[in-house]
Structure 1
């Protein structure tokens, strides 16, 4: 008996999804909705009781105070702010100051921690010992003590501004912090920034093209040099198109302080140094564990191909270790961001410090604490989302 051709065979009819209690999917959905309803009810009950008790005691509530003048100054920050501005702008300035620490700290922590983790596998016994000693020392000292230690060193043991430590007439380090030349921003610099953005887009397209060509033909194309060339060349062309502005404001030593240029305050430096040195010790252990998880045969195979230890580490070992490094690395980034709230101990005006001042003046304790929680929750969720995307990119894919 001849079999019917494959094209003539009919596909089985699609299964109908019915809302039956016998269905595991239906029961799971019902349980989730029930749990969500219980959590929502408990949250409503908590908020309702809190507002009722505050009303009975004559305590004002609500976020309307954010539109009122703050009435206090902020010592430093990138966002223009005046004491006559509203509370919401003060909170925004505090968030920007928190990001100054978190973003710069994550970048420096990644670089330093990676170098320390790789250094643990060096053939030089002295280098291995120094990396090990660094990790054990900074990892076992509480981060708050490290912040206070750096703040004490920067404010008590550095010279006065008149006797500042200097590198030529460019950098001055004193009790007032670190002063350095500031670029006088002009319209032409926006074209340079536009060129840099265009370079990033062109670099992304080149990396995708080089990867696709390598997978198709097995012939590699230069990536790092081309990306660097695109970024520098397009930024330079944008700078030239804008008239090549190159005006700098240089710092000068005055009678009481270093004037002119830009400066990083002792509070900011203390927070940044403390968080970077503390967190990088944990990142170093994460990188070391990820490298150690790569099979020894991978090292031997790369050596048999004639790769140096440095190229083997960069091209063979680290790419395989990344899938184990990224998840715990995410935790360290989150810890650094949340530990930045300790900046209030050295007087750095982050969002926690601003919220404390606003709380004391307005009496809106619940609202100010809620704003702090919302800020750190948003930063943590954004960091986790970015790292989860990177983790999916680094994960092994079966073909």
Structure 2
């Protein structure tokens, strides 16, 4: 019996150290890498602070509370040279960046889908025009396109005294586009409440319509009902309040004088040039993304839809595009991020975005390069992460669910 135990003990493999465990090794290496990165950042920060102190250069973020002392051409909040701070200037630049990015994403998505679908058109002329658009615009640097829109197109507009009257209170000249300016009354909260009710009702109706389609196969006019609830309900509320003598919105119309326009809302030519450049440039890339996504859908899907009696438009809208979105969304997210980051080129045409205002004027006046650059980098990183998070949520909704 003892001999058997001796043989078994001799033939059994020796116990391995816990360091041979792949999970333990992975955790160990990750801890080492993170510690090394933290140490490098700490060493760099300590060295920078020491050099700043030796050179007697101010550091920290207290400069954000100092008076700015300069004006900004476009502000979405109250801002003045005498009463606003560098922190207010940062907020103004951030809002200007967000507004041009959001509007640019909206228009570039529409234009990109239109051009991408047009590239697959059976009409030879339409397909070739879309191809020329894509090949020309995506191969010209964006900076050149921005300068073209700003100098060659908008710079050739007439002076304010010779403004182009476009009707309905719209005037166009070298100083930008002038339009009616809305003045919000005390009852505007009623319109906002009507809009919120319309959004909630749209969400409920879409879920109900989807459930009914799954159960009965019957389709309901989701698009028309959505449009009626989100737009129609606030408009009807506005009309009702206006008829009752409590108009929540009035408009200040621009008036053409001898030398200039007074009143109304002015849209700067820098904003228009930046928006046009970003939209047309990014739409060329989105068009190729859309074309690739549509071509990734099997032709059998279109043939099956045609055999069911669907028109080409219905086939594209109800069958092809929903399936193509699984391929389109990931690269589409990258184009949205590129558009947001490319908006920093606004400094070339003088649009007061975050880079022009904060990394330009504020940095030159304060000299606190490290703080300004770190804040700017953090803002663009945050915008990109939020955009990616939202698009990833949508991507999971359209992705194929394995069963």
| Fold shared, TM-score > 0.5 on shorter chain | yes
Tell me which of 24, 28, 31 is aligned to 1:30.
28
Residue 150 of structure 1: how far off its partner (Å): 0.8
Q: Distance in 2 between matches of 1:93 and 1:21?
A: 54
- The aligned runs of 1:176-325 (5 Å cut-off) are 176-239=175-238, 240=240, 243-325=246-328
Residue in structure 2 matched with residue 372 of structure 1 by the alignment = 376
Q: Which whole-Å CA distance do the structure 2 matches of 1:235 and 1:292 have between them? A: 40
- Can you list the C-alpha shifts for 1:104-141, whole angstroms capped at 9, x where unaligned? 00000000000000111112111111111111111111
| Partner residue of 1:52 out of 47, 50, 53 | 50
Structure 2 counterpart SS, 1:184 = strand
Distance 1:237 1:169 in 2: 21
Which residue matches 1:101?
Answer: 100
Partner of 1:343: 346
Question: 1:237 deviation in Å?
Answer: 4.8
Q: Which has the larger radius of gyration?
A: 2
Q: Is there any run of 5+ residues in structure 1 with no aligned partner, and where?
A: 1-19
Aligned position for 1:360: 364
Change (3 A) 1:371 1:258: same
Distance in 1, Cα, partners of 2:340 & 2:180: 28
- In structure 2, the residue matched to 1:149 is 148
2:387 is the counterpart of 1:383: yes
* 1:154 and 1:266 in contact (8 A); partners too: no
TM-aligned CA deviation for residue 29 of structure 1: 2.9
C-alpha distance in structure 2 between counterparts of 1:276 and 1:284, whole Å:
12
Q: Which residue of 1 aligns with 2:67?
A: 69
Distance 1:347 1:54 in 2: 31
Q: CA deviation at 1:188?
A: 2.1
Preserved contact between residue 207 and residue 223 of structure 1 (Cα < 8 Å):
yes
Q: Can you give the 5+ residue segments of structure 2 that lack an aligned partner in the other structure?
A: 1-17
Q: Distance in 2 between matches of 1:351 and 1:385?
A: 22
Post-superposition offset of 1:92: 0.3
Task: Assess if the C-alpha contact under 8 Å between 1:176 and 1:257 holds in 2.
Answer: no
Larger CA deviation: 281-290 vs 146-155: 146-155
- Inter-partner Cα distance in structure 2 for 1:56 and 1:303: 76
State how far apart, in whole Å, the 1-side matches of 2:361 and 2:150 are: 21
Displaced runs of 4 or more, over 6 A = none
Corresponding position of 1:17: none
Any idea what SS the aligned residue of 2:266 has?
strand
TM-score by length of structure 2 reads 0.91
Secondary structure of 2:248's aligned partner: coil
Residue pair 1:191, 1:241 contacting (<8 A) in 2 also:
no
Q: Tell me if 1:330 matches 2:333.
A: yes
Q: Is the 8 A contact 1:154 1:175 kept in 2?
A: no
Give CA-to-partner distance per residue, 1:143-180, whole Å, 9 cap, x none.
Answer: 00011111103453111111112222511111010111
- Matched residues in 1 for 2:258 and 2:371: separation? 44
Q: Is the 8 A contact 1:151 1:346 kept in 2?
A: yes
CA RMSD, 1 decimal: 1.7
Moved more, 215-224 or 347-356: 215-224
TM, length-normalised to structure 1: 0.92
State the Cα distance separating 1:25 from its structure 2 match: 3.5
